[in-house]
Structure 1
Amino acid sequence: MSDAERKKLTDTYKRYGFSLARQTSEVLVFTLKTGYFDNADIIPAQTGQDVSVTFNEFTKIGFACTIRPPMSAEEAEKQLFRGFFSVDSTRDRLQASYRKFTKQITEPYGVGAKYSYVTAPYHVNGVTGTGTVPSEILSRLSLKKPILFLIEAAAGFGKTCTAQEIVNGLIENSDYLPLYAELSRNRQARVFRHILLDEIDRTFPLLGSRLVQSEIQNGRVITVLDGFDELLRAKEDSSDFEYREPMLETISDYLKGSAKIVLTTRRTVLFDGDEFHKWVDSHVNEFELVRIKISEPQISDWLPSNRIERLNAIGVDVRLFANPVLLSYLKLIGDQKFDDICCDSESIVESYFTFMLDRERTRQDLRMDVSHQHIVLSSIAKDMMTFGYTAEERDYIIDQILRSHGVLLDKVQLAYSSSEKPSREELANKLASHALLDRNSSETNKISFVNEFAFGNYIASNIISDETWLDDDARFIEPAVLSYVPRHEQARVNLWRRLESVVDYMPITSKIDTALRLGMPIDFQLQDGEAEGIRFARITIGHASVKAFQFNDCWFSDCVFVKSSLSDVSFLDCRFYNCSIIVEEESVEGGIYLFGCTCDDAFSAQLARSNAIVAQRTADRDRSLERYILEKFWPLGRDKFVYLHRPTKILCARSADFGPEELYPALESLKRKGIVSDSQTPSFFELKLEEMQSIREILGR
């Protein structure tokens, strides 16, 4: 064994807390004192070396000695990792947790129901994925560089199922061990660093956090943090980034060496904001960011063709059922039950809740009819809305039931014989353990609704019935919208009418998305704003006027554009499929511009409308446009550039002096000059530092 090999071996053992007790040309002895037990690893320099004298010596002074074969530092690290991290028992525990998770999903539907992970369409850094989200991540684990995986999806679109599937994939690979944390269970904690340390201590209670962090950075412990958005409790706008940045900085502290960290989150303004991209730029040389966006599930991936045909036959729009909770129900129930509920979309939704609530009567011997269970669950949701929480201690929920439903509980007691009659408190405890409430939290005293769909159902009914309700809290609005997407038209209209008073306070992208998901027309004016990443399908654009507005990275499928209603409208990196245009007598003067879009040339030519002002550009104005764009990378008053990468939508955003119709050609000019180039991330541009002289000349610095 060479001196270099000895040093590497020694460094490996020291990282695990061992001390080098003896080093000779024949043997290395590493000792570890843990209080009650003292251990010694004795490693001979070569195979067949007699180390019995050393063994006896250390045994006599109280060490439990183990003679290891000669090994390299890499072999020692694998052996120490398996021993210290109790790899086999940890995997067994995680497999048991995965089985419990899948059982919770299938259990309500009978013993014959079998769980299977259902894939959904997704994009990786803007490129359509061809496999599955878990496989995208698992295939990158062997890369010798740190990677932050950001998995984004709307509420109820399978983020937790995806996280669980990633963990299960890690369990089956002997080279890795997952550190899984469901952050929604710890969202009351104030400091994110403490949350991570709590999860490390919970998963590896006998190990120091430094050792765990070391193995995270070595790429052996893969960190999966599910529900990162649950920690983002402040209002979702970029001005609150200072509140969120410490969380991201904590994550970046772990992203060293070969670390891999997976975050799942709802789509949130945080990850599209200018400050987030600045944060990414500041760490661009430290780790890679892989953004995965999950779209809504495809019905055909869940249901067999015969069930889809049955739904189509009764006139149900199966596209409305693109919700994992309902699709699981329609997938797992028996054939007779499926036939019984196939009347219309409303009856299918109601049958899900009736099924779950009626099952509860048997499961818990809860002699409360379905309508009364609805009343109790609705009141819990109303209390959450009133006091602004989504999970609370079990004792509080029980107390809320007792305070609000004393008379009802008394009536339920009458359904039991005198010998088996439960007390009020016992009935309230049964209701707090309801299948539609989360009974499987790692914090057993915490209660929340079991999924966003159930939560939203009761939130929506409260919103509709309460004329005084006025709140723009996305924690309640998003689940409410999610739960009413598969409802009949009148139910969706009723919810939209109640939401109209609050959506004006939401970002315009959220307002449009809310209207589209509820099947409402975009009959409100779009002016002086921008929409980001929205999929428009079978909708009219220009039902109301669209003025000085920008669409970024949007999809338009089977849409109709009323050209006369569009003025100073820009489409950046958008895609158009099977769309048409209504051309009426036009009195508007503002242009319509398509930049970097995917569409038929004939469609582009018909929709576009040039603006005479653009043709009046001069060399001085061109220079001003280029200067304006470069200042987005290097703001005025700063000694050096601030951003290395910038999104197209920021570079071409409308200002008081310039519009995207001039900015985009100026950006293309800078690209031709080699001053900026396409970034690896779609819809981004990168500043070319080797052209710093030209950059300074344009900026006059």
Structure 2
Amino acid sequence: MTTDKIEYIDKLFLSYNYQLANQSNLKVRVYTLRYGMYHAAEFILFDKDYDISKIKNEYSELGFATDVRVLDDIDEIEEYLFEGFFIKTPLGNELKNRYKHFVNRQLQNLPEGSTYKYINSSFDLLLQDESKNIVENKSYDSNFEINLIDKINGLLSKVNGAIFIIIEAPAGFGKTCTANEILNTFSPSECKQLPFFTELSRNREARVFKHILLNEIDEQFPNGIKQNIVIEQITKGRIPLIIDGFDELISKESNKEEVESMLTTIIELLKGDAKIIITSRKTAIFNSDEFLNSIYDSNNEFSLARFEIKEPKIENWLDNDRIEVIDNASFPVAQIANPVLLSYLRNISLDVLKGYVHESNDGALIDKYLDYLLKREQQRQNLKLNNDDQLRIFRKLVRFMTEYNITAESKETIKDFIKEYNQKLLQNSLKLYIAEEKPSIEDLIETLSNHVFLDRKPNGDVGIINDFIFGHLIGENLILEKYQEHYENFENIIPQDFATKSIESFKIQSKNKKENLWSIFNDENFNYDIGFYFDLDYTFSKQPKRVYKNLFVLDRELFNLNFNEDCRFESSAFSSVIFHNCVFDINLFFDTSFQNCSFYDCSIINNQTSKPYSDFALFACNSNNDFVQNILNLFDSPTNNEKKEKAILTEEMVLKHFFQVDGIKPRARKFSYIKKSLNEYHDKEINKVIDSLKSKDYLHFKDDVGFITREAIHHLKHNDKK
């Protein structure tokens, strides 16, 4: 055995907190481990004929548990240590328990006898290899092709080396469910891997991601296992890292340095055979310069897979019988288009469903759902608090979370808050119990801390069960003027992502509640970005109604919008947006671009314009009618304000911008970068060339980022040889 190999084995055991015993020599290594009352001695023989009986007996007499192994392969030692410290411990069993706990959490707000089912949605995949060449760029229909979980597991098992998997989706589209399904597919005894799953939430502790990650390691692994061991096994692929809710740590208030630090922490781990999966709401961060620079400037080699979960269709949730009941009643489908409600409707009886949809009360369904949850809580926990009182307690709790910009807190803090701010209500509740059933106030608070509205996170913190309930309570606080009552400058208290949760929840509320919430956000002086107000106007009034400056709309479907009269768009961009049946007056747009957008049954009004093309610039867009061509025809001749081309813009000139400085390695580029790099050319000319490259499959686009394909690289190399 060479000295280098012996040193490597020594380092390996020392990393697991063993000590090298003095009896070690070139034929046998003796490693000792003292953990509490447990003492162990491992004997690694390099020479199977070497007699170690004397040394072994010495350690046995001292109370050490001894084990002798003949070294045949260093990899066997690594596997042996990993199994001993990870697989063959309670950690392996906790995987199944964690998934069972997750399923139970999903069922606790559903009728008794309900079953949990993962909803397979359609998804998009952009896959790049270690050299960042595009391997796959495809949309999958889960009803006819491979499902999302199988596709992800296929990548985890087949891709050699490190891989970074990002799963994006809007709220309620199944990110957390997907993360748990991936977790459940691992069987440590079969695959010899032990995933490390962490579900992030925002609390009042330090929000430096690296510290959070290391703290999660300390929380989830036994004291005898140091952080460096876990980190090393992550990079070796034995501990796949699953981070659910990456976006929880990102808010409007997050600065550039915080985001870069988070990305750097992850990318530093992406070496060797590391398998890292994160879920996040759809966010522009993954198209940002910070993200692209982190990916392309890293010295680590890793594949990158970006999954985007598409909106689950009602047919994914409900069987044909239930859909027929809804259709026959002419019930407005928009009032049930929420995963929380759909899960509930999937598990109630057909008779109950018929009763719900035949009632015409606006917003009645959400009221019935909440009534069901709160009344069941009274029975389940023998709770002497009516629906209104329960809602009051949790509206207060959400105001506390809002004030501190948190989504979870320790259970003790939650209990202290409930006790401190609900004294009168709790005392009145205690009076309603008969003597032999009357709990102490501490017991009552403990009961409320286990309420159906609350969810115990894996790290022990407690938060609201889901974004739907969270958003509902925020919206109720606003329309009941509770924020206004308790905070002098309440507009500065509510984080933008909390306000967004209220909009999402109120999509299925009554018309009156929608109008009230819209009025509050519209009339008060909230410091939110213009994207929030565009979402607000579209969600509640279905029309743009103000001046939108520096607006960026990303990856959306917009239906039946009239861009005329009441609105104006300045220095804005729409990227990967699908417009359905929309009407445009292009004179209302100034320095606004449409990138990789699709227009279905759209039209323009006011066909006369003296505007430059850059005011309504199309890049790589398409339509199912003559909409795009009509726009281009309006700008046949450049105006005096437009710059003249210095030369003809060629496809090769554009493609060469999609490389690193070395001119060899591919590099993704944002539309804004390409436009800036080619600023001596008309936007219309740039669009013409990009359109051609896209049609030839030389460029792929994801949102506002373009990727060069292998076909384009071969094309350039072929031309260079001529």
Residue 218 in structure 1 maps to residue 229 in structure 2: no
Instruction: Note closer, same or farther for the CA distance 1:6–1:129 as it changes in structure 2 (3 Å cut).
Output: farther
TM norm structure 1 = 0.84
Paired residue for 1:158?
A: 174
Of 175-184 and 559-568, the range deviating more from structure 2:
559-568
Paired residue for 1:39?
A: 41
Indicate which of 635, 638, 657 corresponds to 1:613.
638
CA distance in 2, matches of 1:383, 1:320: 29
Paired residue for 1:55?
A: 53
Of 337-346 and 458-467, the range deviating more from structure 2:
337-346
CA contact (8 A) 1:144 1:257 kept: no
Name the aligned partner's letter for residue 450 of structure 1.
Answer: I
Q: Which runs of structure 2 are paired with 1:344-383 in the superposition (5 Å)?
A: 344=360, 346-383=363-400
State the shift of 1:623 in Å.
8.6
Deviation sequence 1:506-548 (CA, Å, 0-9, x none) = 3444432343334531233445544222221233344634455
RMSD over aligned CA atoms reads 4.1
CA contact (8 A) 1:652 1:659 kept: no
CA contact (8 A) 1:148 1:289 kept: yes
Name the aligned partner's letter for residue 134 of structure 1.
Answer: I
Paired residue for 1:481?
A: 503
Paired residue for 1:202?
A: 219
CA distance in 2, matches of 1:202, 1:406: 34
Paired residue for 2:259?
A: 244
CA distance in 2, matches of 1:278, 1:147: 17
Instruction: Note closer, same or farther for the CA distance 1:193–1:549 as it changes in structure 2 (3 Å cut).
Output: closer
CA distance in 2, matches of 1:489, 1:257: 55
Instruction: Note closer, same or farther for the CA distance 1:627–1:496 as it changes in structure 2 (3 Å cut).
Output: farther
CA distance in 1, matches of 2:173, 2:540: 16
CA distance in 2, matches of 1:65, 1:159: 46
Name the aligned partner's letter for residue 37 of structure 1.
Answer: H
Deviation sequence 1:360-384 (CA, Å, 0-9, x none) = 1011111222122222222222333
Instruction: Note closer, same or farther for the CA distance 1:610–1:503 as it changes in structure 2 (3 Å cut).
Output: farther
- Equivalent position SS for 1:117: coil
Instruction: Note closer, same or farther for the CA distance 1:416–1:560 as it changes in structure 2 (3 Å cut).
Output: same
CA distance in 1, matches of 2:443, 2:100: 30
**Structure 2: 5+ residue runs without aligned partners?**
127-136, 485-489, 717-722
Question: RCO higher in 1 or 2 (8 Å CA, sep ≥ 6)?
Answer: 2
Indicate which of 611, 624, 639 corresponds to 1:600.
624
Deviation sequence 1:337-392 (CA, Å, 0-9, x none) = 33332225612111111111001101111122212222222222233334544334
State the shift of 1:5 in Å.
8.4
State the shift of 1:178 in Å.
0.3
CA contact (8 A) 1:629 1:651 kept: no
CA distance in 2, matches of 1:595, 1:284: 33
**Structure 1: 5+ residue runs without aligned partners?**
693-701
Of 214-223 and 381-390, the range deviating more from structure 2:
381-390
CA distance in 1, matches of 2:40, 2:416: 51
Paired residue for 1:101?
A: 102
Of 542-551 and 476-485, the range deviating more from structure 2:
542-551
Residue 144 in structure 1 maps to residue 160 in structure 2: yes
Indicate which of 552, 556, 560 corresponds to 2:579.
556
Instruction: Note closer, same or farther for the CA distance 1:17–1:395 as it changes in structure 2 (3 Å cut).
Output: closer
Paired residue for 1:112?
A: 113
Deviation sequence 1:552-592 (CA, Å, 0-9, x none) = 22112343444565566532211233x23144453553434
Instruction: Note closer, same or farther for the CA distance 1:13–1:350 as it changes in structure 2 (3 Å cut).
Output: same
Indicate which of 475, 491, 513 corresponds to 1:470.
491
CA contact (8 A) 1:540 1:561 kept: yes
- Equivalent position SS for 2:437: coil
Paired residue for 1:329?
A: 344
CA distance in 2, matches of 1:565, 1:185: 40
State the shift of 1:660 in Å.
3.5
CA contact (8 A) 1:179 1:221 kept: yes
Instruction: Note closer, same or farther for the CA distance 1:260–1:503 as it changes in structure 2 (3 Å cut).
Output: farther
CA contact (8 A) 2:570 2:589 kept: yes
CA contact (8 A) 1:560 1:581 kept: yes
Paired residue for 2:129?
A: none
State the shift of 1:296 in Å.
2.3
CA distance in 2, matches of 1:604, 1:558: 14
CA contact (8 A) 1:590 1:611 kept: no
CA distance in 2, matches of 1:614, 1:605: 19
Instruction: Note closer, same or farther for the CA distance 1:112–1:147 as it changes in structure 2 (3 Å cut).
Output: same
Of 392-401 and 348-357, the range deviating more from structure 2:
392-401
CA distance in 2, matches of 1:474, 1:642: 39
Residue 294 in structure 1 maps to residue 294 in structure 2: no
How many pairs are equivalent? 674
CA contact (8 A) 2:244 2:279 kept: yes
CA distance in 1, matches of 2:253, 2:8: 49
Name the aligned partner's letter for residue 155 of structure 1.
Answer: A
Of 15-24 and 209-218, the range deviating more from structure 2:
15-24
